[in-house]
Amino acid sequence: MRKLITSLMICVAVVLFTTPSALADDESTSAELKVEAKQAKINEVADETLQTLFKERPKAKDLYDKAAGWAVFDNTKVAFGLTGGGGNGVAVSKATGEKTYMKMGTGGVGLGIGVNKYQIVFLFQDETTLKNFVTKGWQADASATAAAGKNAADAKTDFSNGIAIYQFTEKGLMVNADVAGTKYWQNDKLNE
């Protein structure tokens, strides 16, 4: 029993100390840049991710055209028995062009070891859903994975609860977007 507790404590310590170091590459670079440069980097990733989405799922462009707004997040997730991760993104209202820079964080327990970089695209059906996402933040639960699943990957012309979600890894578009246990909120430093 003592070995089990010691092993769990080591796993927790590894996650706590490894997650920041895995993210340090992006964060240390970003910390050295001015706010405008950080925003430009986030905008560039968002534009590239949207272009990848439209290329891999041409029908997603139709859904994008119907959407009131969108958001893209660039994330890193670390797993060593426990999982944790974080990233940055931007949410955009198509009506006004207003950009809100945001952060995301995720954590949980799972099997697996490694680091995973991925991007998530949210399409918002209406301004109210977008505004709630931006002003109140959003916390994905297990039902969010189902909402993001096959309908989003097949790029059908409907939203689930006002949102369509697409997730990309280095290998391409995932059939099921794994957003459960993830929270999104405004990045005060980039929205000053």
Q: How many domains does the chain have?
A: 1
pLDDT at 154: 46
Name residues of the chain where pLDDT drops below 50: 4, 6-9, 11-19, 21-24, 30, 32, 142-143, 145-156, 176
| Residue 150 domain boundaries | 2-190
Q: Which amino acid is at 3?
A: K
Task: Give 67-96 pLDDT, tens digit per residue.
Answer: 999 999 999 877 776 778 899 999 999 999
Enumerate the H helices of 33-163 as residue ranges: 35-56, 58-66, 127-136, 142-148, 150-153
